[in-house]
Amino acid sequence: MPQHLNRIQVRILTRPLQSLHFVFLQPFGGGLAGVFWIIVLLQNPIVTAVKGLEAIAPLVRSVEETPEPISTEVQGIIPPWINGKLLRNGPGKFEFGNTHYNHWFDGMAMLHQFKIEKGQVTYMSRFLRSDAYKKNSERDRIVMSEFGTLAMPDPCKNLYQRFISLFHMDPSDNANVNFVKYKRDYYVSTETNFMHRVSPENLETLEKVDWSKFIAVNGATAHPHYDHDGTTYNMGNSYGSKGFLYNIIRVPPEKTDATDTLQGAKVFCSIVPANRSHPSYYHSFAMSENYVVFIEQPIKLDVLKIVTCKLRGKALSDGIYWDPKQETVFHLVDKHTGEISSVKYYTNAICVFHQINAFEEGGFLMLDMCCSDDGQNINNYLIQNLRKSGEALDEVYNTICRTFPRRFVLPLDVTSETPTGQNLNTQPSSKATCVKISKDKVFCQHEDLHGEDLHKYGGLEFPQINYDGYNTRPYRYFYGCGFQHLVGDSLLKMDLKGKTLKVCDKGTFLLVLDAKTMEELGRASVPVNMPYGFHGVFNAAI
């Protein structure tokens, strides 16, 4: 690879026919400044106003899979040294027969592959052959409950069987959130205890894997972190004899044999919730060089409601609520010893789905996250809301709290000698404050990682850095999606030096950008309609 082209990142932007475009991010190699992006877009001009929003219903309609690779039409130049497969995941089917899902998160997992080789691009997609997909397909109706949809009892069962089924809800294996890696294998994951190992070559569903067969957890996030040696960290809940616990998981980097999946996984730390009957929901967590950081936020799980949801005729989502009276707590766990810091770091009620980065510097832990001040947004992503148009769609959008990048500074050396009532942050690089207010409590106020110009783009989510080069380390640039609509509609580049912003708004094609300048290098038209998805990875050719 030429030296001046040794810093790359790959990203994907999608949008449907007759609608605006949407952004997804995924890294490929890379360095600090000169970074390339690959962006897939599907059609129409971008919407910039909060009134008269363009309908996005095509993004949440069922589509057909494309099981064989199809060619794209390339214009310009896609750098020929970018070789590999961009793998993406998200919902792609929203009904079976006369039954339909209520929530966007419920749709059946559709796996996407963009194969990039010698300047050319092919596309293919396949539905994950999960048990949920197969059972629903066999009966042509929804028979397995999802996050926002309660499946009705099977009318073919007798009355007693239907009654008993009300007391038992099987967790779904509809792994539609992310592609993740464990021991060099690719899996698709949601937040239950089930994952599926898949082939990056043809998207074939290979093997269902159950976390609970290896460690005492009832699920795990779809956003693990990776050490440089390949060791993987994740978090999962458990509901056992010790009550509800947040568990930090470590998975070794190598297989012991060809059949190895999660063998050797360990729970190396368990954190007790502030309220065991109302623990916090979390979508991800942060990790620095020496610490795992768990954010206990005021999005709460009502355990009683959740365990009785089927009996009450309610979906799982009915047991999740936002409590703005609760503070947010940052828990630090030593990655080497599993010891939980006795010092707890607090801030006001915030909602966090994705972290940007975390690193240690000068005795402080810098924690960068995308935050909003209201955690009720999850309830707005009902299918019926996403398929609205006109003023009804504008009204939904205008009720959503915007998400912005923020930095919290956590002092690592708080002792009994540390003074109270004064700002402990001595790092000149950040204006965030952290004040010791009692023996083991530090209250933190964030610093904004953006300027005023980000407001007109609707804030920023789906953050991404050059993970291999800068995760757990000081960094300068990150990328994300602007949200001038219910879902991302632009690609943003943030420069922490000066908090400056660059924006890309484009049309219908896979787009290759020089991410330093955000100038276009090439494009490849994708000839099929695609639904909006969530996350993915780049599988580089070796």
Would you list the DSSP string of 381-424? -BHHHHT--HHHHHHHHHTSPPBEEEEEEEES---TTSPSSSB-
Q: Which H, E and C letters describe 279-292, residue by residue? A: CECCCCCEECCCEE
485 located within any domain? yes
Better-predicted residue by pLDDT, 331 or 505: 331
**485 annotated among ligand-binding-site residues:** no
Of 4-8, 239-243, 365-369, 524-528, the range with the highest mean pLDDT is 365-369
- Is pLDDT of 16 > 50? no
Tokens encoding 510: 């896979």
pLDDT band for position 271 (50/70/90)? very high
- Does pLDDT of 167 surpass 60? no
pLDDT at 8 over 50: no
Phi, psi of 533 (to 5 degrees): -120, -165
pLDDT confidence of residue 523: 83
DSSP 414-443: --TTSPSSSB----TT---EEEEEETTEEE
Q: What is the DSSP string of 336-364?
A: TT-PBPS-EEEES--EEEEEEEEEEETTE
- pLDDT at residue 154 tops 50: yes
SS3 161: helix
Task: Determine the longest span between alpha carbons in the chain, in angstroms.
Answer: 70
**pLDDT of amino acid 178:** 97
Give yes or no for a contact between 12 and 22, defined as CB atoms under 8 angstroms apart. Answer: no
Which is it for the CA torsion 359, 535, 516, 29, positive or negative? positive
Q: Specify the pLDDT at position 38.
A: 40
Residue 188 belongs to a domain: yes
**Domain of 134, in residue numbers:** 57-540
| pLDDT (mean) for 319-333 | 96
Helix (H, G, I), strand (E, B) or coil at 185: strand
Average pLDDT, the chain: 87
State how beta strands 441-445 and 344-347 pair.
Answer: parallel
On the question of pLDDT at 37 being above 60, the answer is no
Q: At 195, phi and psi to the nearest 5?
A: -125, 165
pLDDT tens column, 220-253: 999 999 999 999 999 999 987 778 999 999 999 9
Q: Do the beta carbons of residue 148 and residue 106 sit within 8 Å?
A: yes
Q: Worst-scoring range by mean pLDDT, 12-16, 431-435, 455-459, 526-530? A: 12-16
Beta carbons of 355 and 284 less than 8 angstroms apart? yes
Cα–Cα distance list, 211 to 172, 179, 192, 429 (Å): 13, 16, 9, 41
More confident residue, 30 or 350: 350
Evaluated on CA atoms 218, 223, 228, 230, the torsion sign reads: positive
Q: Has 283 been labeled as part of a binding site?
A: yes
The yes-or-no verdict on residue 5 having pLDDT over 60 is: no
Q: Is 103 annotated as a binding residue?
A: no
When divided into structural domains, the chain yields a total of 1
Q: Which tokens go with 439?
A: 């023996």
Is residue 38 in some structural domain? no
pLDDT value at residue 317: 92
pLDDT of the residue at 311: 85
Q: Which amino acid is at 505?
A: D
- Per DSSP, the chain holds a count of helices (H) and strands (E) of 6, 37
- pLDDT tens per residue, range 72-124: 999 899 999 889 999 999 999 999 999 999 999 999 999 999 999 999 999 99
Count Cα atoms within 13 angstroms, Cβ side, for 444: 29
> Could you tell me if 278 and 300 are in contact, meaning their C-beta atoms sit under 8 angstroms apart?
yes
How confident is residue 310, by pLDDT bands cut at 50, 70 and 90? confident
pLDDT in the model for residue 21 = 35
> Residue 287 domain-assigned?
yes
Residue 334 lies in a domain: yes
Counting Cβ atoms within 10 Å, is residue 390 exposed (0-12), middle (13-18) or buried (19+)? Answer: exposed
Q: Once rounded to an integer, what is the mean pLDDT over residues 316-335?
A: 96
Judged against a pLDDT cut of 90, whether residue 48 lies above it is answered with no
Beta bridge partners of 209: 195
- Binning the chain into helix, strand and coil, the percentages to the nearest 5 are 10, 40, 50
Q: Has residue 310 been placed in a domain? A: yes
- Whether residue 503 is contained in a domain is answered as yes
pLDDT mean over 389-406: 94
Rounded (5°) CA angle 368-374-379: 115
Percentage of residues of the chain with pLDDT beyond 90: 73
Whether the pLDDT of residue 512 is over 60: the answer is yes
Higher-confidence residue of 170 and 462: namely 462
Output the CA torsion 518→524→530→535 (10° steps): -50
Stretch 13-34: mean pLDDT, rounded? 36
| C-alpha torsion angle, residues 194, 200, 202, 203 (rounded to 10) | 20
Per-residue pLDDT, 530:
85
Q: Is the pLDDT of residue 157 over 80?
A: no
- Residue percentage of the chain with pLDDT more than 70: 87
Residue of 399 and 188 predicted with greater confidence: 188
Range 135-153 average pLDDT? 92
Q: Which residue has the higher pLDDT, 519 or 33?
A: 519
Would you say residue 290 lies in a domain? yes
- What is the rounded CA–CA span in Å between residue 477 and residue 32? 7
Tell me how far CA of residue 459 lies from CA of 372, 402, 403, 450, 492, in angstroms: 9, 6, 5, 9, 10
Please report the pLDDT score of residue 234 as a whole number.
98
Dihedral angle over CA of 64, 65, 68, 73, nearest 10: 70
Residue 335 has pLDDT above 70, yes or no: yes
Tell me if 354 is assigned to a ligand binding site: yes
pLDDT over 90 at 43, yes or no? no
pLDDT tops 60 at residue 7? no
